Amino acid sequence: MDTIGDMLTIIRNGYMTKKGIVVVPHSKLKEEVAKKLYKLGCVESVDLEKGDKKKSLNIKLKYEKGEPAIIHVRRVSTPGLRVYRPKSGIRPVLSGMGFSLISTSKGIMTDRESLKAGVGGEIICEVW
């Protein structure tokens, strides 16, 4: 089961239906990806909600003049086909207009941060 892919689909579908907030089941990796999307300005806020037995992430979607902040998000590495790239294999998304999120030994990074740090890793997704 691809939980990161499910989270990205929930966010993409939320933008397509003009929702304000989407709720995603919690995991540490999903929380880190959502926080990175917040730091990059793709979502307005990320809040952790602790229920009786399960935690969830409340992600407030960001719109600029009625248009979604994220136009497209694509899952690259899946559980059935992991995609790893060394630092020399990391390429810009849409000629630098977008970014990719990479799981490195130093945490979740964008493609630019990964190149600066000189590390490669698993390409999680591409966003533009």
Q: pLDDT digit string (tens) for 34-78? A: 999 999 999 999 999 998 889 999 999 999 999 999 999 999 999
Give the model's confidence band at 4: pLDDT under 50 very low, under 70 low, under 90 confident, else very high: very high
The alpha carbon of residue 70 and the mean position of all alpha carbons in its chain are separated, in whole angstroms, by 10
Position 104 pLDDT exceeds 90 = yes
Domains of the chain: 3-68 (3.30.1370.30), 73-127 (3.30.1490.10)
Give the distance between the most distant pair of CA atoms in the chain.
Answer: 46
pLDDT at 116: 96
Share of the chain above pLDDT 70, in %: 100
pLDDT at 52: 87
